[in-house]
Amino acid sequence: MAIDKNQIAQRIARELKDGYYVNLGIGIPTLVANYIPAGINVVLQSENGLLGMGPFPEAGKEDPDLINAGKQTITTIPGSSFFDSAMSFGMIRAGKVDLTVLGAMEVSDTGDIANWKIPGKMVKGMGGAMDLVASAKNIIVAMMHTNPKGESKLLPACSLPLTGVRCVKKVLTDLALMDITDEGFLLLERAPGVSVDEIQAKTAGRLVVRGEIPEMVFG
Amino acid sequence: MAIDKNQIAQRIARELKDGYYVNLGIGIPTLVANYIPAGINVVLQSENGLLGMGPFPEAGKEDPDLINAGKQTITTIPGSSFFDSAMSFGMIRAGKVDLTVLGAMEVSDTGDIANWKIPGKMVKGMGGAMDLVASAKNIIVAMMHTNPKGESKLLPACSLPLTGVRCVKKVLTDLALMDITDEGFLLLERAPGVSVDEIQAKTAGRLVVRGEIPEMVFG
Amino acid sequence: MNKICTGAEEAIRDIPDGAVLMLGGFGLCGIPENCISALVKKRVTGLTCISNNAGVDDFGIGLMLMQQQVKKMISSYVGENAEFERQLLSGELEVELIPQGTLATRCMAAGYGMPAIFTPAGVGTEVATGKETRRFNGKDYLLEYAFEADFAIVKAWKGDTMGNLIYKDTARNFNPLMAMAGKITIAEVEELVPAGELDPNMIHTPGIYVHRIFQGKDYEKRIEQRTVLSKK
Amino acid sequence: MNKICTGAEEAIRDIPDGAVLMLGGFGLCGIPENCISALVKKRVTGLTCISNNAGVDDFGIGLMLMQQQVKKMISSYVGENAEFERQLLSGELEVELIPQGTLATRCMAAGYGMPAIFTPAGVGTEVATGKETRRFNGKDYLLEYAFEADFAIVKAWKGDTMGNLIYKDTARNFNPLMAMAGKITIAEVEELVPAGELDPNMIHTPGIYVHRIFQGKDYEKRIEQRTVLSKK
């Protein structure tokens, strides 16, 4: 069975290591903050100028001067720091952020990503996505395996305008966890009960299946 | 009679306008701070990271964390601010400093300046001088008209390694105040009792003398 | 040296039609509310606005869009604005979208006297079209030019009579960068204090970058996405 | 995540011979005294030191020069140091002199992930020799590359256990820039406090740039040019 967005977040959270600085994109990636494993300290970066993002505030304690990149009211943890947008993207560009998690509309089997524009539809802008994907050392994409029409979002080449080229390292969908390698999507784990055949059928790009593929386990 | 270094500083101080941000170099330029005219507020920039430099501290109140670009202990005025060296030279490079006053070993009649290196002698380095002269909107050089050997320091072309090219706007020496124009050094004022002939004799570069040249007046 | 204005009207008095403006803020956070109101009242038109976002229909730069005062927006993200969308699709409004970090750094470059910077953001995408690409250490970068504005309009938390500014929390965002990039920089602050009251070690924008300052009033500080912890 | 070291010896434990170091400070102001002492004690050699100055004969980087630990200095100003002069003239020491603003901005460029910057400093002088010159808006600029160091060693006033740093007065200078440019950044602070005690709005160097931190001791803070008001 396909995993839900909370399980996607939960699985990604296992990629976190103690001491990581992490940028979580809008949508499913934001949920990762809810599943940080015990004993692991990570510092969340919000590209509008904050290191040390905390949970949402209690009702009545929202501060309009304190928001995240999704414009949501948030809080800070002890040891946080504020800075301007140039320094924020400076530390991103300099590779100081250890892990970036973001959503996508399409990912190619060479690691290209498209997530900002659908020609013919209203264009809202790339925000910080192009900066993030161009500079992050380690990018995990979290998305559905197929679009609402059932078409694969894992392609030989993106059909939509690109956000970045050869930058994605790992993709986690509702069906599978994959590394991006020179040979294409290397299947690492299956969602519980989802067959390799189903994943293969829903992956338009090159999929590499090597040996027995374990199921993800959720506690 | 040639004016002394305090009179040089006093004359330069008359070039200050209310609201100016000013960078004063080491040596004679530093003395300008002592002669800021009444009713005029200027903010002194020290390129090691301070806007709003005040006078030297009272004895016993020196703070090793508070020095100027000449490494002298100083104080601050109300409304001062500290910043790092990149921002300091950033504001210099962006032309935010209204006036820069510095010393020189040689100035050419096209506005080139040499003040950092004497080949064959120990080289100490250019410090911030090259940044300052490359970016300042308005540079006044304050120096002696001749070197200790009696040779002119106002030349057709500098003989020493350059600090900057075509950047000096005005020169004040112990003998004369001059603008630098396309035609060369345009004589504006004479030191009291110093003749045009003497200035001419001691100026190796092109000197333009037009009409009657007034004497500087010191109160 | 007098940088102090009585209010937004005086501070923006000479902004002409067709001016290039920078406006600080991220979303509706840290936007110069007072100056925007005054610009709306003054009905200055034909503006080019460099701002990370374009406000919402009834707040922020959206108020200026509503009156068709804006000819061109240069932003990184312009969603959440129906009137903006209408003007864009009808061709009334010109829009240039650029990556957020590129926008920030192009403002900083102006404030630091650097004519251009290199960034990898947008390499291999349509953003790179017509731009110079250069490889350093095996990685490609775009050459992007410094942004300057006739007027930069920023919002700070505290300011003093010398023009020194301190921002609060994530309301800092683009404000200190744009403050450095204006030919004339106008700062509105929640609290204006005499010179000497702010700690000189804690100044975010040194006064040298600020030409006009005033204490704003009636800040609404609208929240775009109010999110709170769900009760357990 | 543990960035805290017991002292300078632990913080610099793995700096090898031949390393490229950045050392913060301007003159003797804001220099990492504890780490310099530890480097002197460790007798690591063949170092390339990027630092605005080279200390004086018996303080600062001068102490390392005295033991001939430094192979190359990259600085803007190196006066006031007799042993330095002797080594330079004898050819024992290599020196690269670069304009102070260029030095500062090349450090910042590394911290901001920008491979190169443009500056007009040195155009038309011997500093421009062999460098690419480019004209923007009628003015010439040199292309200068970002500086990176194996270790950046900085001194701050206060720091917390997350690595956040605050500097005092003009002891800030190059410290925050070099802190951003080290592959490994070591910070010594006068006062180390638990996370949460420093105001997040007043952090000069966010902890993400700092890998090791310790509370230094026995600061001498020597004054190079003691100047006081003359008694009237």
Task: Name the residue ranges covered by the structural domains of chain B.
Answer: 5-32+87-208
Contact status, residue C217 vs residue C34, Cβ threshold 8 Å: yes
Q: Dihedral sign, CA of C100, C102, C106, C109?
A: positive
D91 touches chain A (CB under 8 A): no
> What local confidence, expressed as pLDDT, does residue C230 receive?
83
Complete DSSP assignment for C115-128 = SEEEE-TTTTSGGG
> What local confidence, expressed as pLDDT, does residue C168 receive?
98
Q: What is the identity of the amino acid at B44?
A: L
Distance CA D75, CA C226 (A): 51
Catalytic residue selected from B15, B47, B62, B183: B47
pLDDT digit string, tens, across residues D195-229: 999 999 999 999 999 999 999 999 999 999 999 99
Query: Confidence band (pLDDT; 50, 70, 90) for D232?
Result: low
Closest chain C CA to residue B17 = C1
> What local confidence, expressed as pLDDT, does residue C94 receive?
97
Residue ranges in chain A whose pLDDT is less than 50: none
B62's tokens: 């020196």
Asked whether the beta carbons of residue A52 and residue D203 sit closer than 8 angstroms, the reply is: no
Distance CA D25, CA D36 (A): 12
Q: Measure D225 CA to nearest chain A CA, in Å.
A: 34
Asked whether the beta carbons of residue B89 and residue D171 sit closer than 8 angstroms, the reply is: no
- Looking at the DSSP bridge assignments, the partners of residue D135 are D140
D57's tokens: 């004969």
A139-142/A99-102 β-pairing: parallel
Given a cut of 90, whether residue C79 has pLDDT beyond it is no
The proportion of chain C whose per-residue pLDDT surpasses 70, expressed as a percent, equals 99
- Class of the CATH domain delimited by B5-32+87-208: alpha beta
Q: Measure C140 CA to nearest chain D CA, in Å.
A: 10
Does residue C156 come out as left (phi exceeding 0), alpha (psi in the -120 to 50 range) or beta?
beta
A174 touches chain C (CB under 8 A): no
Q: Which of D106, D117, D148 to mutate: most C Cβ within 10 Å?
A: D117
Strands (E), D14-146: 20-23, 47-50, 70-75, 94-97, 116-119, 133-136, 139-145
Given a cut of 60, whether residue C232 has pLDDT beyond it is no
Asked whether the beta carbons of residue B82 and residue C162 sit closer than 8 angstroms, the reply is: no
Task: Please choose, from the candidates C36, C34, C35, C42, the residue with its C-alpha nearest in 3D space to the C-alpha of residue C56.
Answer: C36
D220's tokens: 């001498």
> What local confidence, expressed as pLDDT, does residue D231 receive?
66
> What local confidence, expressed as pLDDT, does residue B121 receive?
85
Distance CA C172, CA C30 (A): 7
Write down which chains contact chain B via at least 3 CB pairs under 8 A: C, D
Q: Which of C161, C185, C208, C210 to mutate: most B Cβ within 10 Å?
A: C208
3-state secondary structure of C111: helix
Query: Confidence band (pLDDT; 50, 70, 90) for B47?
Result: very high
Task: Please choose, from the candidates B115, D114, A195, the residue with its C-alpha nearest in 3D space to the C-alpha of residue C136.
Answer: D114
pLDDT digit string, tens, across residues D95-142: 999 999 999 999 999 999 999 999 999 999 999 999 999 999 999 999
Tokens 């002696």 correspond to: B144
Considering the entire predicted model, what is its pTM?
0.97
The proportion of chain B whose per-residue pLDDT surpasses 70, expressed as a percent, equals 100
> What local confidence, expressed as pLDDT, does residue A91 receive?
98
Kindly list the structural domains of chain D, giving each domain's residue range(s) and its CATH number in brackets, ordered by start: 9-115+147-215 (3.40.1080.10)
Task: Please choose, from the candidates D93, D120, D90, D94, the residue with its C-alpha nearest in 3D space to the C-alpha of residue D105.
Answer: D120
∠ Cα D39 B68 D119 (to 5°): 80
Residues in D touching C112 (Cβ below 8 Å): 105
Weakest mean pLDDT among B48-52, C43-47, C225-229: C225-229
pLDDT digit string, tens, across residues D145-197: 999 899 999 999 999 999 999 999 999 999 999 999 999 999 999 999 999 99
